[in-house]
Structures are given as C-alpha cells and as structure tokens.
Structure 1
Amino acid sequence: MMNRDATCTSAEFTCQNGKCIVKHWVCDGNNDCTDNSDEEHCPPRTCTPGKDFMCKNDSSCILATWRCDGEYDCADGSDEKGCTSDHANVTSRCGKQEFECGDRITCIHNSWVCDNDQDCPDGSDEDEVHCQHVNCRPDQFQCRSLECIPGHLQCSGSPECADESDEENCAALYGALGNNTRVIGSGCDHKTEFDCGSSCIPLDKVCDQKNDCGNWEDEPKDKCGVNECAVGNGGCAELCVDTAAGFYYIDECTIPGTCSQICTNEKGSFKCECMEGYLRDPKDHTRCKAVEGHASLLFALRHDIRKISLDHLKMTQIVESTRSACALDYMFRTGMIFWSDGHDGKIYKAPIDEGNAKNVVIEDGLSNSDGLAIDWIYNHIYWTDSGRKVIAVAELDGKMRKTLIKDDLVEPRSIAVNPIDGWMYWTDWGVTPGRIERAGMDGSHREILVNTNLKWPNGLTLDMVQRRIYWVDAKLNSISSCNFDGTSRRLILQSPEALAHPFSITTFEDYVYWTDWTNETIFKANKFTGKEVTPLLPPNTVKHVMSVHVYHAYRQPDGENHCTPLNGRCSHLCLPAPRINDRSSLIACACPDGTILTEDGQNCAPDPGELMNIYVACDYKIMLRDITFYKTTNETLMLNGKNYKKTMNHIMDLLEYIIKLGFYSIHYN
C-alpha cells in the first residue's frame, strides 16, 4: 500500500496513489504512475521545435536528429516516412531467413509465419495479408496450429508440435482395456495407480472385490484393509502414505520448493536451512531471505534504462535518450552498468547513480548484440552478436577484444557467466530446434545442454544458489529450468497469457522475473512452482521492454580471482577456465584477435595470417618481443626471415595496428 501522505521532491510528480515519478514522465504516453494519473488532463502534446520530432499515431516525441536516419524510432515508423527515398535507406535488423514484425523490432523464423500461432507482439505474422490456407505434404502431420512436422513423429511419445497435438489420441500408448485401464508405457504412477503387471488401474479400483486386473492382482487378501504406515512409519525414513493395497513414501526434499535452499530429510518430516548470507523468514521457516540490501530490477527500454525497487515498486530513470538499448548487465562492486545499443552498434557503460555520464566500451565491429554478461571476478565483458554470429570477450574498458566462439552459431541471443566455476551459457534460437549451450569462459569444452522441446529460447539466467539455469521460450510460452550440467530439466510455467512474448528473465530468492513484449510489462512468479504469477506493473505500462536483471550484491557472489597476482603470467588476457575435475587448470591465457598464443601457452605474438596484409613505405625495423620485422622492398615485408606481401599504405597503419594488439616495443634503424 502506497503512503498517500508521502512527500515527493520538487523534481518529481506526485501520483494520485502516492507514488513519486520523474516530472518529465508526465504526459509522455506511458502509465508510469500505474494508476494513469500522470496521463490525465494532459494538454495536446507538443514537441520542442527544432529539437524534437512528433510521431504521427501516438504524438510521442523523439529527437529531430533521429528523423530520416534509416532507423525506426516511432512505433508507427512515421519518422522514416516522407524521406528522400522513403524507406529505401531503412536497414532491417532481421536476417535473410527471418520475418520482420510490424513493430520493426522483432524478428522471427520465416517458418513461424502463418502457423496460426501469434509470434509477433502485434500479430503481424498471422495477418491476412501474408497468410493463405496452409496444407502439409502427404508425408507430414499437420498440427492443430497448422505447423507441419514429419509424419513419423506423430505419437512418438515426445511432442513436436508447439500445441502438442501430435501426441493426442495415440492408441499405441493408451489402449482400450476398459474400466480406465492403461497399457504401461513408462510405468505406473504409484501415487494414483496400481500396477497389474502389464497394465495400470486407478487406485480406487483396488480392494473393491472386483477383478479389474484380470488375475485378481488388485485384490490381495493380506494387504487390503491394512495400514502399513501405522507400524514403524512403514519402515520409512520419509513420509509414509498408505494406499488400498500397499503404501509409498515421499521424500519431501525431492519436491522442488519444499525449502528455499537447503532441505534435510528427517523421519516423517524435513528441515529447512539457508545458505550463508540468508536467514529463514520468521513468517515461514521454509523460505530464505537475503540478510543485506534491498533488491531492485534494472531493465532496458529502447529509449532509456530504468530501475524499480522490489519492495516499494518505485521506478527511477538511470539512463535517458538511448537509441535502441537492448542487452544489459552490471558490476555491483563498482556500481557500473553496461548496455548494448542496437542502433549505435556500440556497448556503453556508466555509473548507476550518474547514468548519463556514459563512456563507450566497444566502439566498432558490432552488428546486433542482444546478449551481454559481466564477469564480476576476473573483470571481463562477454557478449553475443547474432549479426556476426560470434561470442566475444574483452576487458571492461574494451581492450584485449577476442572472439571466443565463431562456429555453428546462427542466432545467439542471451548469455550468462559463472566465473566461480569458469562456465558461460547462451541461447541460440536460429537453429531447429533451439539450443542452450555452455562452454568454458575461455571458449573451451563447448557442449549442448538442451536441444529438445525448445523453439525460441530468448532470455536465460543463472540461479547461483540452486545452481540451475532458467530460460524463457517465446514460441512455447514457457519458463523452464535445469541444472548447470543440463540434467533434471523441469517445466516451471506455461502460459500463453503471462508469457505471450517473453524476452528476458532473471531470478532472486524464490522468484523469477521476466519481461514480456506483448503485455508490455514485467511479471514475477514462484521459481519452483510457477504459481503466484503477478505483473509488477500494470499491462501496457512499459513499451519495448528488453533485458532485465535483479540488482543485488548476492547476484554476484564473491569468488577468488586466480589470475592475480601477475595476471596469471599471461602476457595479455587471463580468463577463467571451466572446472572439469579436481586437476583442471582454473585459468587460461588467451590472445586478442589478430594474435596467437605462443608455444609457452602464456605469451601472444602477431598472427602471420593477419600481418600478410601490411604495407610499409619507408625503411624501418620493429622489435616485438622476440619477433623482428624488416622492410625488404616496397612490395614485401620480412617476418622472422619470411617474406609477405603488403597492402597497407603507410607505416602508421602498422604502428597503430601493433599498439592496438598490445605490443609496445618499437625501434627504428
């Protein structure tokens, strides 16, 4: 409940419900107060002449310099209409095999167009303009959603259709033995069924003096009417549950969410405990709450970055006037936030309390960075680039940039890192089916963790306490999770309403939080059960909401930096390596793009393949550690006794290139 008597500052607007918001959010077209009082009694909207441009449909204002710049900034695209070439210079962010939705932001698979399932937030993929009657080939099965799958996959035991219609009415699994009898496909459910040996019957058919199994197996005289749990708890250490002709036990600790964190099984009961830094909730001893700090959500909208407190739901602006903010992460220890901008093709950073004092981290060579992750222990930044189809790393100032993964990537999107164990995780929705993969943070030991029942894995986050991965699937409208190694997969929530088009996900304590483009809000739900689904903001409050992160110290737990001191004896990059076993090296030396690791595994040298393109137009000798360059003729360059052709036009190109690689020992003769 908001305090209606709360006093807002002179720079804030007081909402009718008592909330305080930034004054320039009043009458901006967004329901920032959540009761819409900031959008009431608004005069006809005007934009600052010479500074702003007014969008046609919603009268929102954008910077005048964004008009006719080849990027849609107005939701209706009016800022790119009436230009000299009228859309001719507008660059789509979608690939050749993708469909661009009407919002001009979302890209989906071409195969998802006209499949009777709305994937674009505006529904443009199912518009009558694009869609005609769809027929599958004779060797295919047509799902209820009109999607086509190979015919042999019908009734395979694993749903291939997004609506699972290929597993309906399958006589091979559910036979007609009468009286609710079921043919055993994967064993009987001992909590609701009785095992006849070759079939299963409901427990209420047991001990009813009728031959339901066929050989009277369901009428055992020595068990009917006997409560086995009444004597010594049935001999169980766990909770004993009596049935008509037997009993079963429940280990409460195997049920997700019985305890927030640590569950210890006891005879007939269980005990909950908390990890260091957490205490049991006085109101519910099965729940754990963080001892320190107040958690907030950081989230990116296209044109700004905001923070909302999870206790009072007060929203503040961190960075304003971004062009197309997308991926987001932070370094809690230094109070620095990092984000990618799809329009600028850059990655920025800024202090969280001075968001407009931004600096460029990665300035060039970016195409479409939808995923970004900060290594808070070894001080590196990782990102995905779906345009260049790579995963890369650099120091937090952008130096020592290196491509880690470049093969077999189609649409890499979300990325998360665990520097304590040396692993990074990412989603790729460009392959069919989608994939969740991991590799060492040095690029080694790559492996696929999840590639079944996956369509459009957008956001991904790590639960460092439970050691689980959580992800959202925008095609299956679901949240799922698994262990860090891909085992113990669980479906947490499936909801076409609350997960109409999820983009990003994060977790803290007992909840997951996700952004949804269709609902234009941020939701939360219990991370164990998927229950308690609640929008943190009223629907249609935040347009184009992108990445979201819980901002709290416990999201980045302390760990040892094994690269200190002496940078792990590496000449350039020292990266965390994955812990495969007890003898695994905890770090690995790596080299920036354009250089290669020498035989000692610690030092970097220029890659001869890169230096073949250098041209030098004057006499010189350059010493780079143990490598010597000599000018021989105007057409060739000698590298350690080998001649290479040269194509650059000036010695300064060579010097700048070498300095960029991190080599500084330069001499002339």
Structure 2
Amino acid sequence: MLKDMLTISELIICLCLRCQGFQNKLIISTYGTIKELNLQNGEELELQTDLQSFIYSVDYDYRNGYLYFSRYTKNDIQRFRYPPGQMTDLVPVTFASRPVGLVIDPLYNHVYWTERSTGKLCRCNLDGSLKSVILQDDPLFALTFDYRNRWLYYSTDNTKKSIRRLKLNDSENQTIINVHSELVTGMSIGNDKDRLYWMEFNNGFLKSSTLNGSSVMTVLNTNTNNKNQDIHVFRGNVYCANGNSLLNVTPGVSAHVIYNNTGIIYSVFIHDENHETRTYT
C-alpha cells in the first residue's frame, strides 16, 4: 500500500529532461529571468532577461496571448507576448507595492495580485485600467484562483499565518487553514479532484486539502528548509520549485527531479497548448 506522504529520500530521484509525450511548455522564473523549458527535447529558451527583480508568480492570458508576471522589487506588473514571435517587448500593466501572487480571471478579463507590504488584494483590467483594492488584510503572499466556484485563495504572512479565501461578487471571506509559523509560498487548485495544494517555505511540506480546508494531507516532504517556492498543478501532477530544482510530484505515487537550475527557481507555470478547448462556465 502506498503511503499518503512521500519523502524524497525514500524515492529514486531521476533527472529526466526528456519526458516522452510531454507536449506542453514549462515556464519558470529565476532572479531577473523568465525561461521556457521543453521537457520533451531538453531545450531551454530565455524569454526575458535583465528584469532586475524577484518574480514570484506568472500566469497566462490564453485569450489574448500574454504572459503576465509580478516584479517584487520593482513594484510593478508587466506582460509580454507568448509564445514568442517577432514582438516580445515588455508592456507595463500597473504599479504595485511588493507584488507577489498573481492570477488571471479569464471570464471577466481581470488581473488579481497580492501585495506583501500593504496587505492589499488588488484587481485591474488586463490592460491595467480600472485598478481597485478589493480586500485589505494582513501582509499577503501566495494567490490562486478557483475559477469554477469564483473563490480567490491567498496566504497571509503575519505571526499567525493562514490560508484564506474570498468569494468574488459576494465578498464572503473565510480563514480555512491555520499554518501557524509556516509561510505558504505557493498554491494551486487541482480541478480533477477539487483539492487545494500548497507549499510551506520553511519545512518543505507539500500539503493538500479539500477546497473548504478539510481533510488536510501531507503529500510530500521535500527534506529541504527555507528553499521551497511556487507550485503549479496540471493534470493531476504537482510541479514544485524546490530551491534550484524542479519537482514533478504525482500525489501518492512518486516524486521526480525533472530539471536542475544554477539559481533558485521562484515560480513555475505550465502553458497548456490544448487550453483553447476548455470553457470557464
């Protein structure tokens, strides 16, 4: 019987840059750089360089073909065309105060982001217009979006850290999980099983719960401290930025190192080439 919790030291960790049948592209950020990784053929492509900032979050506007990202130390949000073509120039979207988490709302064409320094959860249109504050809370960090049920999930960075959620168009706000001293640096929704996944920065635990915060499980112990960053769930697998490495975790089954980088990986996102077949209703 498989254990609910997998430990990296108990697994055969394989470095597999060529994953057969993997058709989608991984987007990662390091300090000042955004890269595209093709795990099918091992190719790397630098999409943007010299960004001069930590980039804790990226997301994609599939309808218009823009990749959005937050620049923490430059206090702004920017975008550029993706997949790369002739036009890859950066386009400023809006100013923000220490922006961390960022998500796109594909139904209403909004950008949402968290501000660590102000404790604000903000929103604007995709072009940066009509900026507004929709929530004032403790210092905020990670952010993810359950677009089916219209909940924004965010983590707080105070003495009693927690995961909370805000119902859009309703303003209902709930604390669903208390993580105490652990900073949640990455969150993502697994729509196949309707579970919330998150990464704890200090102890390296990847955990999950139902969308209302019940049935909490530890999925993986990375056995690393103070290096664990963003995560992204895609087709039942959880991709984790773990220091200089990128992990592919199949909950309850396996965990593999699929990429090693020279510097720390801060954010991870999978560009789904078949996304156009999906709906948001």
Q: TM-score, with normalisation over the residues of structure 1? A: 0.37
Distance 2:275 2:176 in 1: 23
Does the residue aligned with 1:367 lie in a helix, a strand or coil? coil
Distance 2:191 2:42 in 1: 24
**Structure 1 runs of 4+ with >6 Å offset:** none
Structure 1 unaligned residues grouped into runs of 5+? 1-251, 257-291, 561-669
Counterpart check, 1:417 vs 2:141: no
Q: Aligned letter for 1:515? A: A
Distance 1:486 1:328 in 2: 25
Q: Hey, what does 2:228 align to over in structure 1?
A: 502
**Contact (CA 8 Å) 2:93, 2:128: kept in 1 or not?**
yes
Distance 1:414 1:554 in 2: 26
Q: Hey, what does 2:106 align to over in structure 1?
A: 376
Q: How many angstroms does 1:311 deviate by?
A: 2.7
**Contact (CA 8 Å) 2:23, 2:273: kept in 1 or not?**
no
Q: Aligned letter for 1:449? A: I
Q: Aligned letter for 2:35? A: R
With over 3 angstroms needed to count, the CA separation of the structure-2 counterparts of 1:438 and 1:555, relative to structure 1, is farther
Distance 2:170 2:114 in 1: 13
With over 3 angstroms needed to count, the CA separation of the structure-2 counterparts of 1:454 and 1:443, relative to structure 1, is farther
Q: How many angstroms does 1:397 deviate by?
A: 0.6
Distance 1:398 1:443 in 2: 23
Q: Hey, what does 2:280 align to over in structure 1?
A: 559
Q: Identify the structure with the greater strand proportion.
A: 2
- After TM superposition, list the pairs within 5 Å mapping 1:154-193 onto structure 2: none
Does the residue aligned with 1:496 lie in a helix, a strand or coil? coil
With over 3 angstroms needed to count, the CA separation of the structure-2 counterparts of 1:427 and 1:483, relative to structure 1, is same
- After TM superposition, list the pairs within 5 Å mapping 1:233-632 onto structure 2: 294-326=23-55, 327-352=57-82, 353-354=84-85, 356-362=88-94, 364=95, 366-407=96-137, 409-410=138-139, 412-432=140-160, 434-442=161-169, 444-452=171-179, 455-497=182-224, 501-517=227-243, 520-526=244-250, 528-529=251-252, 531-538=253-260, 541-552=261-272, 557-560=278-281
Does the residue aligned with 2:259 lie in a helix, a strand or coil? coil
Q: Aligned letter for 1:321? A: D
**CA deviations over 1:412-465 (Å, ceiling 9, x no partner):** 111111232211111113232x21110112460000111156612111111122
Give the CA RMSD over aligned residues: 2.4
Distance 1:309 1:453 in 2: 38
With over 3 angstroms needed to count, the CA separation of the structure-2 counterparts of 1:464 and 1:385, relative to structure 1, is same
Distance 1:500 1:387 in 2: 20
Q: TM-score, with normalisation over the residues of structure 2? A: 0.84
**Contact (CA 8 Å) 1:500, 1:516: kept in 2 or not?**
no
Q: Which structure would you say has the larger Rg?
A: 1
With over 3 angstroms needed to count, the CA separation of the structure-2 counterparts of 1:555 and 1:455, relative to structure 1, is farther
Q: Hey, what does 1:243 align to over in structure 2?
A: none
Distance 1:358 1:348 in 2: 7
Query: How many pairs were matched up?
Result: 260
With over 3 angstroms needed to count, the CA separation of the structure-2 counterparts of 1:420 and 1:554, relative to structure 1, is farther
With over 3 angstroms needed to count, the CA separation of the structure-2 counterparts of 1:304 and 1:443, relative to structure 1, is farther
Distance 1:555 1:301 in 2: 25
With over 3 angstroms needed to count, the CA separation of the structure-2 counterparts of 1:360 and 1:374, relative to structure 1, is same
Q: Hey, what does 1:33 align to over in structure 2?
A: none
**CA deviations over 1:313-340 (Å, ceiling 9, x no partner):** 3221111221114121111232210011
Q: How many angstroms does 1:553 deviate by?
A: 5.1
Distance 2:118 2:58 in 1: 19
Distance 1:325 1:500 in 2: 16
Does the residue aligned with 1:537 lie in a helix, a strand or coil? strand
Q: How many angstroms does 1:522 deviate by?
A: 1.1
Q: Hey, what does 1:217 align to over in structure 2?
A: none
Q: Hey, what does 1:598 align to over in structure 2?
A: none
Q: How many angstroms does 1:341 deviate by?
A: 1.4
With over 3 angstroms needed to count, the CA separation of the structure-2 counterparts of 1:333 and 1:467, relative to structure 1, is same
Structure 2 unaligned residues grouped into runs of 5+? 5-20
Q: Aligned letter for 2:168? A: M
Q: Aligned letter for 1:521? A: S
**Contact (CA 8 Å) 1:332, 1:552: kept in 2 or not?**
no
With over 3 angstroms needed to count, the CA separation of the structure-2 counterparts of 1:312 and 1:293, relative to structure 1, is closer
Q: Hey, what does 2:15 align to over in structure 1?
A: none
Q: How many angstroms does 1:546 deviate by?
A: 1.1
Distance 1:436 1:521 in 2: 25
**Contact (CA 8 Å) 1:464, 1:555: kept in 2 or not?**
no
**Contact (CA 8 Å) 1:414, 1:459: kept in 2 or not?**
yes
Q: Aligned letter for 1:525? A: V
Q: How many angstroms does 1:523 deviate by?
A: 1.4
